[in-house]
């Protein structure tokens, strides 16, 4: 068992709660209320900015050009695929650029994005890669499960979201991230830190889906 498998096994219960959350299972079967998806979508648009920071600083910390190219390629894929879908959805909903610029972080997004920024600026290359793996791998897992089960929601955005996260670019990037983690030969201290990164990210991922599914707002 490689280190990446150990890290995943170490968060097994919360991992399963994330990849089987009602938000993603209902999205996959097409029954998810669109208003819930719109909350998620708007917040994920904000989250994409901090995700971009994480990838950009991972690139800056990369030990060689091969690693930098992997990271830059995935950043380009995300900004070209996901960000393009955001703009399409905003236009369909009749949302103005001014409204989009005025979007505010909900509490969970604010906390999760802050965690990513901290990891991006303060962590080592291996730690940032582990953070990216913990973010991307569950998405590949739940989307692959939906695809394997033959889920084909009629909603264009739901199906496209599944397609994006089962694409060769996504699966290839996750495989590369796993290879970096597996080849890192960490000290016991670093191994424990990587496990804590996985635990923190998976907790935030669960809260992110819950934020959209159950509703969330600032108390004041």
Domain boundaries, the chain: 3-214
| Angstrom distance (rounded) from CA 142 to CA 17 | 11
Q: Which helix (H) or strand (E) holds 30?
A: none
Q: Tell the burial category of 95 from Cβ atoms under 10 Å away from its Cβ (0-12, 13-18, 19+).
A: middle
Q: What is the CATH number of domain 3-214?
A: 1.20.910.10
Q: What is the pLDDT of residues 161-182, one digit of tens each?
A: 999 999 999 999 999 999 999 9
Residue tagged 């303060």 (tokens): 122
Q: Return the closest-CA partner of residue 192 out of 37, 6, 1, 2.
A: 6
Q: What is the pLDDT of residues 36-94, one digit of tens each?
A: 999 999 999 999 999 999 999 999 999 999 999 999 999 998 887 777 788 888 888 99
What does pTM read for this prediction? 0.95
Q: What is the pLDDT of residues 117-156, one digit of tens each?
A: 999 999 999 999 999 999 999 999 999 999 999 999 999 9
Q: Are 213 and 21 in contact (CB under 8 A)?
A: yes
Output the pLDDT for position 220: 76
Provide CB contacts within 8 A for 103, sequence distance 6+: 42, 45, 46
C-alpha distances out from residue 19 to 43, 102, 179, 190, 216, Å:
19, 31, 22, 26, 20
Q: How confident is the model at residue 22 (pLDDT cuts 50, 70, 90)?
A: very high
Q: Tell the burial category of 196 from Cβ atoms under 10 Å away from its Cβ (0-12, 13-18, 19+).
A: middle
Output the pLDDT for position 166: 95
């Amino acid at each position: 068992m490689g280190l990446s498998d150990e890290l995943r096994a170490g968060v097994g219960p919360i991992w399963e709660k994330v990849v089987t959350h009602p938000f993603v299972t209902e999205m996959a079967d097409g029954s998810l209320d669109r208003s819930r998806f719109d909350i998620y979508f708007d917040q994920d648009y904000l989250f994409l900015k901090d995700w971009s920071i994480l990838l950009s600083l991972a690139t800056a910390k990369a030990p060689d050009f091969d690693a930098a190219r992997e990271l830059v390629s995935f950043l380009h894929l995300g900004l070209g695929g996901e960000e393009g879908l955001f703009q399409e959805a905003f236009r369909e909903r009749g949302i103005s650029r001014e409204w989009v610029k005025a979007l505010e972080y909900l509490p969970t997004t604010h906390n999760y994005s802050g965690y990513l920024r901290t990891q991006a600026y303060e962590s080592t290359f291996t730690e940032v890669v582990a953070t990216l793996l913990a973010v991307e791998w569950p998405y590949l897992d739940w989307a692959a499960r939906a695809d394997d089960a033959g889920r084909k929601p009629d909603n264009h955005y739901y199906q496209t979201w599944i397609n994006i996260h089962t694409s060769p670019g996504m699966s290839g990037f996750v495989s590369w991230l796993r290879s970096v983690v597996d080849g890192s030969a960490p000290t016991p201290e670093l191994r424990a830190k990587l496990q804590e990164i996985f635990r923190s990210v998976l907790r935030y991922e669960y809260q992110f889906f819950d934020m959209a599914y159950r509703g969330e707002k600032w108390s004041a």
